[in-house]
Amino acid sequence: MSQLDFSTTLGNAWFPTPIFTASGCASSGKELAQFFDLRDMGAIVTKSIMTKPRAGRATPRMAETPSGMLNSIGLQGPGIDAFLANDLTWLVEQKARIIVSIAGETAEEFASLARRLRGVAGISALEVNISCPNVENRGMVFACHLESAQTVIEGVRRTIGGDLPIIAKLSPDVTDIVSIARGVIDAGADGLALINTVLGMVINPNTMRPHLGGRTGGLSGPAIRPIAVRAIYQVHEALPKVPILGMGGVSSGADAFELILAGASGVSVGTASFGNPTAIMKIQNELRQILTDKGFSSLREAVGFAHRPESSVR
């Protein structure tokens, strides 16, 4: 039997496998490198980086929920200068493929981060995180408003030029994700990352107050997988040519396969790595086996396969 072509593309960026880390779930790679070779996965998607160092939200920052967890980190990070000097340099030395995720408080901050990254060698794509729910001002969740989402993406596109693929990370906490998706593609994004965490809250029965320091948090893990599958399916149906990096509760090869069938060209693994440091390798191996067993000769054939007409058989 012929060899499976496991490679994928996001815009003009090529990756040998379709499994990635999810931004905010792998720091900048050093921690997971103890458990597997970062070159063995599609790419590392870094923690969303901002202009200045940021301490993040108060603790408690975490609450486990049935088949999931809430996090309330608030984009803690070293800032772009230290990121470029330390984290990115290290990742490039490792010969890992890299998708840098950026986050800003204003459209201008996104554009200025893009300016810092323009021309930096070793980056495959840019993820523009316009949907982090753990910010004080809900107005900062640009992906909840069509116009602000477009303004950010336009600014980044203008700054970065035409070469580096831009992936806009969207929130499922909207009435119509397809219209936001279409809007950011029109504004210059090459692909979409679907989905960010879902806004949630846990109240502690002992203190009888919200458990998290930031009160609300982002729900992740298998609990949100059906939301991810639905969002990817809807967007792929409307925009079949737009590459989607899918994520949301993937913890097995079968889960990743589900997102691919819905329309994802790549799959990011987040919370599963918290529960299992080698989850990415496990998921990747299982997915490769499933695609082979189902008779696909390439990953590309399986992308969006759930959308095929009723009359087609397999």
Partner 1 sequence: MAGINRSAAQLLATIVGNKKVGQYHQILISVGDLVSQCKPGNFVAISVGGPSSKMVLRRAFAISRTTTSPQFGGAIELIVAPHGSGSTWLCGLAEGEQIDITLPLGTAFGIPTTNVNALLVGGGYGSAPLFGLAEVLKERGCRVDMLLGASTGAKIYAPLEGKRSVNSLRIFTEDGSMGETGRITSPIAQLVSELQIDVVYSCGPMAMLKAISDILGSTDVVHQCAVEEAMACGIGICMTCVLPVKDETGKINNLRSCIDGPVMDGAAIEWDLVGKTLVL
Our finding on whether 170 is near partner 1 (CB under 8 A) is: no
Residue 221 or 263: the one with the smaller Cβ distance to partner 1 is: 221
Our finding on whether 274 is near partner 1 (CB under 8 A) is: yes
- Rounded CA separation 224/120 (Å): 35
Whether 132 is catalytic is yes
Residues 271 and 68 sit within 8 Å (Cβ to Cβ): yes
Residue 62 or 178: the one with the smaller Cβ distance to partner 1 is: 62
Residue 31 or 163: the one with the smaller Cβ distance to partner 1 is: 31
Residue from 70, 126, 132, 235 carrying the catalytic annotation: 132
3-class SS string, the chain? CCCCECCEEECCEEECCCEEECCCCCCCCCCHHHCCCHHHCCEEECCCECCCCECCCCCCCEEEECCEEEECCCCCECCHHHHHHHHHHHHHHCCCCEEEEECCCCHHHHHHHHHHHCCCCCEEEEEEECCCCCCCCHHHCHHHCHHHHHHHHHHHHHHHCCCCCEEEECCCCCCCHHHHHHHHHHCCCCEEEECCCEEEECEECCCCEECECCEEEEEECHHHHHHHHHHHHHHHHHCCCCCEEECCCCCCHHHHHHHHHHCCCEEEECHHHHHCCCHHHHHHHHHHHHHHHCCCCEHHHHCCHHHCCCCCCC
Residue 32 or 174: the one with the smaller Cβ distance to partner 1 is: 32
The nearest distance, CB 241 to partner 1, in angstroms, is 33
The nearest distance, CB 182 to partner 1, in angstroms, is 33
Residue 183 or 218: the one with the smaller Cβ distance to partner 1 is: 218
Q: Which of 68, 155, 165, 248 binds partner 1 (CB under 8 A)?
A: 68
Q: Which of 16, 122, 188, 277 binds partner 1 (CB under 8 A)?
A: 277
- Rounded CA separation 79/56 (Å): 12
Q: Which stretch binds partner 1 (CB under 8 A): 63-71, 109-117, 198-206, 256-264?
A: 63-71
How many residues bind partner 1, per CB under 8 A?
A: 44
The structure tokens listed for 73 are 């980190």
The nearest distance, CB 171 to partner 1, in angstroms, is 20
Q: Which stretch binds partner 1 (CB under 8 A): 64-72, 102-110, 200-208, 224-232?
A: 64-72
Our finding on whether 59 is near partner 1 (CB under 8 A) is: yes
Our finding on whether 278 is near partner 1 (CB under 8 A) is: yes
Site for partner 1 in 103-132 (CB under 8 A): none
Our finding on whether 66 is near partner 1 (CB under 8 A) is: yes
Interacting residues of 188 by C-beta distance below 8 A, sequence separation 6+: 153, 154, 156, 157, 158, 166
Site for partner 1 in 197-226 (CB under 8 A): 213, 221-222
Site for partner 1 in 232-251 (CB under 8 A): 251
Q: What would the x/- binding string for partner 1 be over residues 16 to 55, using CB under 8 A?
A: --------xxxx-xxxxxxx-----------x----xxxx
CB atoms within 10 A of CB 122: 15
Contact footprint for partner 1 (CB under 8 A): 24-27, 29-35, 47, 52-62, 64, 66-69, 71, 73, 76, 90, 213, 221-222, 251, 271-278
Residues belonging to the active site:
132
